[in-house]
Structure 1
Amino acid sequence: MEEQRFSANGFSARLYSCNTAVVGTGAAGYNAADRLWQLGQRDILMVTENRLAGTSRNTGSDKQTYYKLTLSGGDGDSVREMAQTLFSGQCVDGDIALCEAALSTQCFLKLVELGVPFPRNRYGEYIGYKTDHDPRRRATSVGPYTSKQMTERLEQAVLDKGVPVLDHLQVIRVLSDGQRTYGLLCLNTAAAPKDRFVLIRCNNVVYATGGPAGMYADSVYPGGHYGATGLALEAGARGKNLTEWQYGLASVRPRWNVSGTYMQVLPRVYSTAPDGTDEREFLMDFFSSAAEMLSKLFLKGYQWPFDVRKVDGGSSIIDILVYLERCKGRRVYLDYRQNPVSGAFSYEELDPEAREYLQRAGACFGTPIQRLEHMNAPAVEFYRDKGVDLAVQPLEISLCAQHNNGGLAIDCWWQTHVEGLFAVGEVSASHGVYRPGGTALNAGQVGSTRAAQFIAARRTGQVPAEKFEAAAAAALTEMGTLARQVVTGSSNVRALWADAAQNMSRCGAAIRSSAEIRAYLDRTRQLLEEFPRRVTAADESELCWVYRLRDMLISQRVYLAAMVDYMEQGGKSRGSALYTDANGTKPYAQLPDAFTFALDDGTRGSRVQEVLYRDGACRFEWRDVRPIPEDDDFFENVWRSYRQTGNIG
């Protein structure tokens, strides 16, 4: 890694040069750096806005899942069968599904070797359990902090190797001509104004920035995670399956999924006015009996994501009722201190699935907190560690954005349409409409491994100097000029950010209305066009919010346009998105008309929506999914090819 200076049109930046820059210090980013080093690459560096932030290190659930090939018991499994499970999630490319299945064991066992304590029995089998959309028992976990422990172990491996990590660098431009990448322009958030900008000249960028979490106000992503998908779209990377998200109920402070036993212990659910008065168990306004309500609440535990297929007669009606209550301006809570409906319910009257589970768990007694302590004490300890004692205080919740199943389009080496720009982890679109729980952690490890393998074998060259200089000069001039324009002494940037996030949660989250999406889409277009004139910052310290807002608005612009295009192509409600449709049906008469919708019939599951964002406009293309490859598996042929090329390329 070399350090120099670069100047253009009165602006100056510190310049670093390397072969590969890894953006992001989550589990996928650290694994990319570690794999590159293992493959003999030394000219690498890591770039991060905040080394201790991010989703991998700061999120989880009651039992955060890692999904991999079955490694225990007598049940049959195979790479092809696991690939088929992933492929069946709709809008999934088969080559990516096959890679995620084939490398799942290698990546899982690497984490084991690094010290992540995945449980195994006395004979060494790594035991598993079924997760959602999982026909086998491929899931495993180390508890609420699975991804945190993965990140910490991978981080230590990278630091032990001496890979340089540049902290406090916020990427504000991906240098590209739309065809290939030449590096990055960053804002140093911890430096004096003269060292504000940092350029990184590199042949490869491994983009591990996570999903575009900052787009939503109602979000379970950790507060320090914003994403940077808009910058990659601006650089020419294509978006894929951008309409497909996962939403679910989560606590507001701290941000955490209230899945699994948090729901299965049957907490009391109530709402209040904003000032805490007028406490009401509002779910009972909808259900005919406590047993019916509690049975649906129980199912929310392992049917945690909002799923439009489970609205009519299923557990996702709970998500809608919470959403509607909050739309009234009320606050919604889970209460573990006392039983729902003043204890006026019978375990025997619950639906068989709930009744039998609680009976087998020996949890048909006491209060919700006593049941939770009995069934999953670490789930209680988690909140206590965060300053929330469930034994003495309620937990405020909301319907939140949790994971983007779409993202940047990639090939089977996780390279985007922009040569040299690789997208790994949640920022990449390796998933489709549905996915087994825990696949995101596996996908991040597999994708970063594949990217490292390709870079080490095929992309060890240098960036053309004249191409880099042209791209760097243009980006530095534009972003430097923007900084001069927006620092006025007054500030509206944070208010604009909050307003944009709230609008996205209102119209572009789990409940989607064509009219509202189109109206807000026009506002994002206008604000982006007028950005230098409309946005103001009080001083230099707010520039990070200026560039962050710009990236967020580009993301919103493209994601909202993708939703409009999906509806124009005849797309209906599917996955975690309910599209209001006057020609559909309303599952319950007492719901507002916005919940009139039609279920997608699955025929679009073999088609993928891709979008190219250029000059402020979105161009959409629909294509067939790539099938699961039928490769030559005759050993001698594969061995010969492997000796010659490593089968990379």
Structure 2
Amino acid sequence: MLEKEVDVLVIGTGGAGLRAAVAAHERGAETLVVSKTLAGKAGCTVMAEGGYNAAIRTFDIKDSPQSHFEDTMKSGAGLSNPELVRTLANDAPERIQDLEGYGALFSRGRGGLIGQRKMGAQSHQRTCYAGDRTGHEIVMTLLQRVRSEGIQVWNYLFALDLIVSGGKVRGLLAFDIKRPGYVLIKSKATILATGGAGRCWAVTTNSFHSTGDGYMLAARAGATMCDLEQIQFHPTGMVYPDAARGILVTEAVRGDGGLLFGVTPEISDALEENRRRRERGEPQLRIDPEAFGAERFMTRYDPERMELSSRDVVTRAITREVLEGRRTRSGGVLLSVVHLDRDYVRTRLSTTYKQFKDLSGIDITQQPMEVAPTAHHIMGGVVIDKDCSTSLESLYACGEVVGGIHGGNRIGGNAIAEGQVFGAIAGKSAAAAAKTVKDEGVDLLSLARELASKHDLDLEKGGGDTRPCAIKRDLQQIMTAKAGVFREEASLQESLAELDALRERLTRSGVTDSSLPYSQDVVDRFEASNMVEFSRLVVQSAVLRRDSRGAHYRNDFPDRNDQEFGENIFVEGGTVWKAKRWS
């Protein structure tokens, strides 16, 4: 077994993980970053388009960190930790200055200052952006910083288990996907920055690598987590063509003036006519929903904020429109920028314009986009304190794997900011902690070998008749159908039984050859286990929360009940309970 020893280990190479690595390195810690795939490709930050929330007041002098705090707490539906939200709002302006100092290029506005747009559920124009490729700009900037500073990055390592002894995290057991075999990384401090779990649903904006690995690393080690029932479904994902279903259509489209419309038979026919024309290579019709008399249906759900209502409200509105039949033949509603200036759209929304042109052959300045909700962000996660420490000594966490910041509903633009704010704090805290750690003579290699033997058994089980990839697909269908936008007791209980059956099937699944480099079969086996166990925790938390709050909506308990359920749902080990930890 290959062994490596470092001061600080960072698991994950998204925006939060890279920022944590830079912060730890800047404070003198020998730092290693590991990634399940290729750094720069991993995680969801690189795919994020909308922007970074910071009250820098370049466009709205009335904005402030206090206002940012209040907007975030309001959207959190009573579940956010005020101390963490305060830190986010106060530190976000300074962290965006760090990014500029590292070389990030943000779009400019009045007077050459950083441009800002308004996103949903915000009281002010607060979202800084780099066109509609903000996340890509940030990740590439941080990756270049990591490389220029000589910080070690190991790609294609699957993080299997945190090594815990005496209540302290002392390292990681990983599997080398490129050169098959186990790796023991001994660390004085470890940072979880593993991202989310959107791939537990059939339709998602997330990368293929977002399979809940970090949550299960934390769960198996005994760390406390919270609010796993709070799953954000982004209101607008592509629905056409099928191969592009779920790909994010950034909230920046609505922030820059895009409008949502219902579908009339006449518009549906016009969309079909354009599909036929694209197949024949003929010029397409210009389709303006307003000219067809289409309804801006958000007037029935949130007439004040309309398209810029909170994501949970817009998601449920679109889902109801689709379920009640006011949808396109591909199963979506319409998002239109046809009424906006063509050059404005192609400049401000260049990535979105190219996305639709390349994937569906549609010019969004001439025809509305077809959109529907798509699994997007896990609001719950590992419980942290203001220094990013967890319930386990020497374990820190940052980014989407963390809970308690966004509460019941994340505001667009807060996730990228959160990754930078808490990534910097986690790196600083871990580096400081590493300096105080003394060698206690624990035999970590024996602990690692014991854990590895269990994984060997999992890889060798079964005759290969049940493929792990099939279990993943079945799980996605279960979670989409029974733990999606709308939930109820009967279907949640059914999903638990079906997940238990998948768990049993997994014990009989095998892999073809675990010695093959880059074996997707091996990765699928590890991921399927994490996905099944994470999904069970989500459903168990959803069963316990018998009210509707934030992104969690129960058809059988449609009202918010602060008296009985104004508390967070916590998970630790196999126990799920509700309690009020912060106020």
Same fold, TM-score > 0.5, yes or no:
yes
Q: Distance in 2 between matches of 1:102 and 1:258?
A: 25
Query: Which residue matches 1:623?
Result: 580
**Alignment CA distance shift 1:60-1:74 (3 Å):** closer
**Alignment CA distance shift 1:135-1:333 (3 Å):** closer
Query: Which residue matches 2:189?
Result: 204
Larger Rg: 1
**1:78-116 Cα distance to aligned partner (Å, 9 max, x none):** 444433443332211122112212221221101111222
Query: Which residue matches 1:225?
Result: 210
**Alignment CA distance shift 1:371-1:454 (3 Å):** closer
Q: Distance in 2 between matches of 1:260 and 1:239?
A: 31
Deviation at 1:574, TM superposition (A): 2.2
Which of 454, 464, 472 in structure 2 is aligned with 1:478?
454
Which runs of 5 or more structure 1 residues have no equivalent in the other structure?
Answer: 1-12, 280-287, 340-357, 582-596, 628-649
Say if 1:363 and 1:371, in contact at 8 Å, map to a contact too: no
Q: Distance in 1 between matches of 2:108 and 2:369?
A: 34
Query: Which residue matches 1:134?
Result: 122
Q: Secondary structure at the match of 1:519?
A: helix
Q: Determine whether 1:562 maps to 2:549.
A: no
Query: Which residue matches 1:256?
Result: 248
Query: Which residue matches 1:342?
Result: none
Which moves more between the two structures, 107-116 or 428-437? 428-437
Which of 508, 526, 546 in structure 1 is aligned with 2:525?
546
**1:139-158 Cα distance to aligned partner (Å, 9 max, x none):** 22112210111000000000
Say if 2:262 and 2:321, in contact at 8 Å, map to a contact too: no
AA aligned to 1:528 is R
Query: Which residue matches 1:399?
Result: 373
**Alignment CA distance shift 1:604-1:403 (3 Å):** farther
1:188-587 maps to which residues of 2 (within 5 A)? 188-191=176-179, 195-228=180-213, 229-247=215-233, 248-252=235-239, 253-254=243-244, 255-257=247-249, 259-261=251-253, 264=258, 269=263, 290-293=294-297, 301-303=307-309, 305-307=311-313, 316-323=316-323, 331-332=330-331, 363=339, 376-384=349-357, 386-391=358-363, 397-429=371-403, 430-460=405-435, 461-462=437-438, 464-466=440-442, 468-486=444-462, 488-528=463-503, 531-532=506-507, 534-540=508-514, 541=519, 542-567=521-546, 572-581=547-556
Say if 1:17 and 1:202, in contact at 8 Å, map to a contact too: yes
**1:132-176 Cα distance to aligned partner (Å, 9 max, x none):** 222233222112210111000000000111111111111122222
Deviation at 1:318, TM superposition (A): 2.4
**Alignment CA distance shift 1:143-1:465 (3 Å):** farther
Which of 540, 545, 558 in structure 2 is aligned with 1:598?
558
Q: TM-score, normalised by structure 1?
A: 0.75
- Cα RMSD over matched residues? 3.5
Deviation at 1:370, TM superposition (A): 9.7
**1:544-595 Cα distance to aligned partner (Å, 9 max, x none):** 111110111110111111111112xxxx2222232121xxxxxxxxxxxxxx
Q: Secondary structure at the match of 1:103?
A: helix
**Alignment CA distance shift 1:621-1:463 (3 Å):** farther
**1:177-214 Cα distance to aligned partner (Å, 9 max, x none):** 582212112122122xxx42222111222111111122
AA aligned to 1:31 is R
Q: Distance in 1 between matches of 2:39 and 2:530?
A: 20
Say if 1:491 and 1:538, in contact at 8 Å, map to a contact too: no
**Alignment CA distance shift 1:604-1:96 (3 Å):** farther
AA aligned to 1:251 is M
Query: Which residue matches 2:151?
Result: 163
Which moves more between the two structures, 499-508 or 603-612? 603-612
Which moves more between the two structures, 371-380 or 549-558? 371-380
Q: Secondary structure at the match of 1:183?
A: strand
**1:299-323 Cα distance to aligned partner (Å, 9 max, x none):** 874347232xx6xxxx843222325
Which of 34, 48, 71 in structure 1 is aligned with 2:57?
71
Query: Which residue matches 1:647?
Result: none
AA aligned to 1:575 is G
Deviation at 1:499, TM superposition (A): 0.3
Q: Distance in 1 between matches of 2:310 and 2:82?
A: 26
Q: Distance in 2 between matches of 1:117 and 1:374?
A: 15
AA aligned to 1:466 is V
Deviation at 1:240, TM superposition (A): 0.8
Say if 1:492 and 1:536, in contact at 8 Å, map to a contact too: yes
Percent of aligned pairs with the same residue? 20
Aligned residue pairs: how many?
540
**1:272-329 Cα distance to aligned partner (Å, 9 max, x none):** 9xxx99x9xxxxxxxx97335496799874347232xx6xxxx843222325669x99
Which moves more between the two structures, 458-467 or 108-117? 458-467
Deviation at 1:236, TM superposition (A): 1.0
Q: Distance in 2 between matches of 1:202 and 1:543?
A: 26
Q: TM-score, normalised by structure 2?
A: 0.83
Deviation at 1:612, TM superposition (A): 0.7
Q: Distance in 2 between matches of 1:237 and 1:17?
A: 23
Which moves more between the two structures, 245-254 or 122-131? 122-131
**1:576-621 Cα distance to aligned partner (Å, 9 max, x none):** 232121xxxxxxxxxxxxxxx52215557863221112xxx32324
Say if 2:131 and 2:347, in contact at 8 Å, map to a contact too: no
**Alignment CA distance shift 1:624-1:197 (3 Å):** closer
AA aligned to 1:99 is T
**Alignment CA distance shift 1:290-1:137 (3 Å):** closer
Q: Secondary structure at the match of 1:136?
A: coil
Say if 1:306 and 1:319, in contact at 8 Å, map to a contact too: no
Say if 1:269 and 1:334, in contact at 8 Å, map to a contact too: yes
